[in-house]
Chains A and B, each alone.
Chain A
């Protein structure tokens, strides 16, 4: 089916502004992805899947200016013993990064390193392509085609230190496209961390293939760079009895679209995806999640919490699809917003689609104001209004933060939220 002319023109305009990287082993996947982009067209405001979020500035060739965010805040995860891999405006910084071979039980290479044969050639673009059905995700296909770099992680044992992707921004007009692949072999375990402002605009894609009995933890922070625009897509495929736990904290950012696509393909697998976000002012944050149950006795959990004020907008589109035969599915989804004023809004579209009869799925979505009774109780004990509001905000976000299994990381995130709330209060 031919694309509408407007869409085709917009798509070609963007494609013309990009150069297809020398592919090496990824060339075939990139060519396929480019064909997918051309067939789907890049998103526009008329697409159902972009009903709540305007994709224009994520799609257009021109990158709206985003001043580099100056802060004296300590780097996120600084007290975590991790392997650091640093990208500045999407470009690998070898000097700032650790030796990629410094951790045992894992092989780490970079997408831009090229070479001829690579284990990642079986993964690169594969989960992204699978994730295009039943909903188009053209920005992710664009990423596969044009990613300039990324990290390829192959865990072949229990990896003792988290692998930490650190993003830094140096230019007001940078446009970064990074694509990471993580393959966790059967019975193996690894933790991936992501943090920092990547660029004025960035598009990141993370494909994670989790084999039987394997575990992948993913903890990510986005913020507090005010003017950046981000589109991210995480694709996870889970084997038998495997575990995937992903958490994202977002603060500020004028536009963020985080897509998570999870496919439970082995029996008894567990996938949790959670997000906490703090939006203030000109802020639009969109969590779009699609979980497919295609095996027996799997568990999925989606826990999303947003605190919004001064006209901030939060979006949640979450779907649980239970395929035929995926009996004993336990699917849970909750999305909640705390609206600190009447200018802010939360738009939620929770969906269940179930083709098996023996399943337990629940979803809920709420929007609420701060609890006046609780606020007065705290103030009557001497806690000033601002601090009391922060404490209640922290408590509200806690349910999402609790999804982080590792206590050190959970504390790190909790502390970060506290700092960010306090900063906002001044």
Chain B
């Protein structure tokens, strides 16, 4: 599904290398987790994959179902099936969630030469999907993320994911700022989307989220590289001993 090879990334503004050769393959139907200390480059990886400005790929490649995504505009990557649940979801005053999502959904469909979803069908679908995430109709009418609590913002990210039905989902610290109940809602939302044809890359600092979203593979990232890969037990090791031991071991 998603193949990243030898990815090197620097900041455009200053001469600073952040990713120093990342290799990673996420297969369809699998959940991969990336854990790692703050500042190791996890968010940078997610931003570079989704096409945010400010980064320069100096070496390596990334493909989605065999297609080079690094050459694509962000909207083309989205239409190709890539989705990033942001660590810090953005507030957009003046644009309601409904308008935002319908515009996005139909833009993607149009890009894929699919038929647009009618206003009626859209409302039906979003009502059904928002219900299980405990997002009410009133929230959907409000501007995107404006005045939302941390938990509401994260649930909103998952709702967008559920509506857009991407092939490859990247979740960047979706667990941060969530209480136990919200964590459950979000995890259930993600688990409901788990599917043979869909890949997940779950970035998290803590093991907690991985109790709910069981990963198939766990990677440890440090200083711009994947330094260790293993099964779910690797996450437990981090939980019990912290990153220090693992980092010392690979150093």
Using CB atoms and an 8 Å cutoff, list the residues of chain A in contact with chain B.
371-374, 376-385, 387-388, 391-392, 394-396, 398-399
Contact = CB atoms under 8 A, between A and B. Distances in A.
B100 interface: yes
A284 to B, nearest CB: 26
A383 B75 contact: yes
B92 interface: yes
B181 to A, nearest CB: 26
A374 B111 contact: no
B51 to A, nearest CB: 7
A398 B144 CA distance: 14
Interface stretch (B78-86, B124-132, B227-235): B78-86
Given A376-B53, A385-B73, A385-B75, 20 more contacts: A373-B90, A374-B91, A376-B52, A377-B92, A378-B92, A379-B73, A379-B74, A380-B51, A380-B75, A381-B160, A382-B104, A382-B107, A383-B103, A384-B73, A388-B75, A391-B99, A391-B103, A395-B92, A396-B94, A398-B94
Nearest to B161: A381
B164 A381 contact: yes
Contacts of A396: 94
A382 B117 CA distance: 15
Contacts of B92: 371, 374, 377-378, 392, 395
Nearest to A373: B90
Contacts, number: 81
A372 B53 contact: yes
A384 B75 contact: yes
A378 B111 contact: no
30 contacts: A374-B92, A376-B51, A376-B74, A377-B86, A377-B89, A377-B92, A377-B144, A378-B92, A378-B100, A378-B103, A379-B74, A379-B78, A380-B50, A380-B52, A380-B77, A380-B83, A381-B160, A382-B75, A382-B78, A382-B79, A382-B105, A382-B111, A383-B103, A383-B107, A384-B75, A384-B107, A385-B73, A391-B100, A392-B94, A398-B94
B94 A395 contact: yes
A380 B95 contact: no
Interface of B: 50-53, 73-75, 77-79, 83-84, 86, 89-95, 99-101, 103-105, 107-108, 111, 143-144, 160, 164
A395 B95 CA distance: 6
A387 B103 contact: yes
A87 to B, nearest CB: 35
Contacts of B107: 382-384, 387
A398 B99 CA distance: 14
A381 B104 contact: yes
A394 B103 CA distance: 13
Contacts of A384: 73, 75, 107, 111
Contacts of A381: 78, 100-101, 104, 108, 160, 164
Main secondary structure on A side of the interface with B? helix
Closest CB pairs A-B (n = 6) = A395-B94, A382-B78, A382-B108, A381-B104, A377-B90, A379-B74
Contacts of B51: 376, 379-380
A383 B110 CA distance: 10
Nearest to B92: A374
Contacts of A392: 92, 94-95
B179 to A, nearest CB: 25
Contacts of A378: 92, 100, 103-104
Contacts of A372: 53
B94 A399 contact: yes
A231 to B, nearest CB: 31
A380 B103 contact: no
Nearest to B91: A374
Contacts of B89: 377
A376 B86 CA distance: 11
A377 B51 CA distance: 10
Contacts of B83: 380
A374 to B, nearest CB: 5
Contacts of B73: 379, 384-385
Contacts of B78: 379-382
A392 B53 CA distance: 18
